[in-house]
Structure 1
Amino acid sequence: MSQPSIRRQIILLGAGQVARHLGPALARAGHTLTHVWSRTPASAAALAAEIPGALPTTSLDLTTLPPAGLYIICVPDGAVAGVLAAARFPAAALVVHTAGALPLSVFDAVAGLRGGVLYPLQTFSAGRQIDWPTVPLCVEAATAADQQGLLQVARSLSQVVEVVATPQRQTLHVAAVFACNFTNHLLGIGHALLQEAALPFALLAPLIQETVQKALDQPPFTVQTGPAVRHDAATLARHQAMLAPHPGWQQIYKQLTASIQEQQMGAGANKQEPPRL
């Protein structure tokens, strides 16, 4: 990515997975990260050590934050309100969160604060490299000037940057949970079942890759396959019996089967059919 036209002095509040990926990426993009704060001092020190020139904050109570051009809150969604309530930001500071589900209005509780959102639509895990130019970054701010500033920061990281208002971003987050988190859980179930059968998970790799690619090429509902869509009652019953040792997974199987069949019935009802006598 090109260097940002306006370099920012940034303080990170949080040292979890999002911050551990975002902080170094911002530094590589030419921004100056001066400090890292965390409720766990060791985590702040570890992340600051990975960012040239950054220092861990010396205060845990957030009342003596150093000045910065931008404060980025990278803590779990449920902790954002607590950070905002505890922190003493400089007057008219620009503070953003990185959460998909939290509204922009979470900043309304702090008088005089300029709030915004910088939401990276990606999953972050230790030991994984992120291709930042391909990561969609969703930006939102209360004013046009702050929105423009956040767009500049986002564009210094990614080639896929969108202004996304709270309602759409929250819908995007729900969709991402289905597409990423739930899908990964289902893959985990498949992995565990193959382990029980002493079979390698790699056997599923071509199937998984084709399924994902097909869903990216066409609307996923239109390319649904499997015993549920075929109403193969014998196979469905056999699978459910095999899952009896795992009643939770068996229930997931039943619910997903019902969902697939309901969706297919709805799609069929919407098709134009010739009149019947």
Structure 2
Amino acid sequence: METSASVPVLRIGIFGAGRVARHLAPALVAAGHQVVFVWNRRLAPAQALAAPLPGTLVLPALTPPLPPADVYLLAVPDAAVAPLLAAAAWPAGALVVHLAGALPLSVFEAQPAVRGGVLYPLQTFSPGRDIDWPTVPLCVEAGDAASEATLLQLAHSLSRHVRRLDSAQRLKLHVAAVFANNFTNHLLGIADALLAEAALPPELLAPLVRETVDKALAHPPFTVQTGPAVRRDAPTLAAHTAALAAHPAWQTLYAQLTASIQAQL
């Protein structure tokens, strides 16, 4: 049996039922693969994840033997990967794959009976938000050629953007992603709160935010930086600092970001 793209069907076991697993499991099925089981520390989320997936079992415990699978995906928090690797009775030679950006391939060295790999989806996952999987960069790393080939097959069945990255490259990418996504979202949250304090609607910033992102994607962002920090506009910087008097942490952040911008000039 093969997928419509002539990619071999893979039997996949999923450990975890959080945000990534809830987005990834149906995408795997849509790509033609078989999710053979779901395990989660709490049973109810695993049952909810497995329910709409055809033929997917729910493992109530890690009691051996694990159902056979071509790939065992660890869709769990980074800190849970090593304990899970130690707790499960993996079949000899099992291909076990984590999805983390900052966790190195070497985490598998403590379990020499398994083949380790990484399938890192460079995307943010939130409830109620659909993911356009063909556009999501998928970063692959594996400890041997056969495992890499399997992961590349799996990745290409989901996305048009697949890259081989080693652990050091992936870590740097993850740091960059935190700046681009998590920190940016936090700054937008601060902006939203400041607007609310002034009884102003958040949609006032929408055109500015869209233009900022579009411009940063079209040019090297440092080269298109604008604002009072670039102009070294001391009166405006002082007025902004005073306006943030009720928020000393945001005042400090404003000063740090201003200094960082000016250091790039």
Name which of 35, 38, 43 aligns with 2:37: 35
Q: Give the Cα separation in 1 of the matches to 2:162 and 2:203.
A: 35
Counterpart in 2 of 1:233?
234
Q: Secondary structure at the match of 2:73?
A: strand
After TM superposition, list the pairs within 5 Å mapping 1:6-45 onto structure 2: 6-45=8-47
Q: Is this contact kept in 2: 1:4–1:156, CA < 8 A?
A: no
Alpha-carbon spacing, 1:101–1:2, altered in 2? closer, same or farther (3 Å):
farther
Q: Give the Cα separation in 2 of the matches to 1:120 and 1:3.
A: 21
Q: Secondary structure at the match of 2:140?
A: strand
Counterpart in 1 of 2:178?
177
Give 5+ residue unaligned stretches, structure 1. 265-277
**For residue 212 of structure 1, what is the amino acid of its counterpart?**
V
Q: Give the Cα separation in 2 of the matches to 1:222 and 1:5.
A: 43
Deviations 1:11-47 (A, max 9, x none): 0000000000001000000000011010010010010
Give 5+ residue unaligned stretches, structure 2. none
Large movers: runs of 4+ above 4 Å: none
Counterpart in 1 of 2:154?
153
After TM superposition, list the pairs within 5 Å mapping 1:18-167 onto structure 2: 18-59=20-61, 61=62, 63-167=64-168
Counterpart in 2 of 1:257?
258
% identical equivalent positions: 64
Q: Secondary structure at the match of 1:162?
A: strand
Q: Give the Cα separation in 1 of the matches to 2:23 and 2:114.
A: 26
Alpha-carbon spacing, 1:248–1:242, altered in 2? closer, same or farther (3 Å):
same
Q: Give the Cα separation in 2 of the matches to 1:7 and 1:195.
A: 51
Q: Secondary structure at the match of 2:264?
A: helix
Q: Is this contact kept in 2: 1:35–1:57, CA < 8 A?
A: yes
C-alpha deviation, 1:65, in angstroms: 2.0
Q: Give the Cα separation in 2 of the matches to 1:4 and 1:42.
A: 35
Q: Is this contact kept in 2: 1:4–1:153, CA < 8 A?
A: no
Alpha-carbon spacing, 1:63–1:202, altered in 2? closer, same or farther (3 Å):
same
Q: Give the Cα separation in 2 of the matches to 1:51 and 1:2.
A: 19
Compute the TM-score of the two structures, normalised by the length of structure 2: 0.97
Q: Secondary structure at the match of 2:158?
A: coil
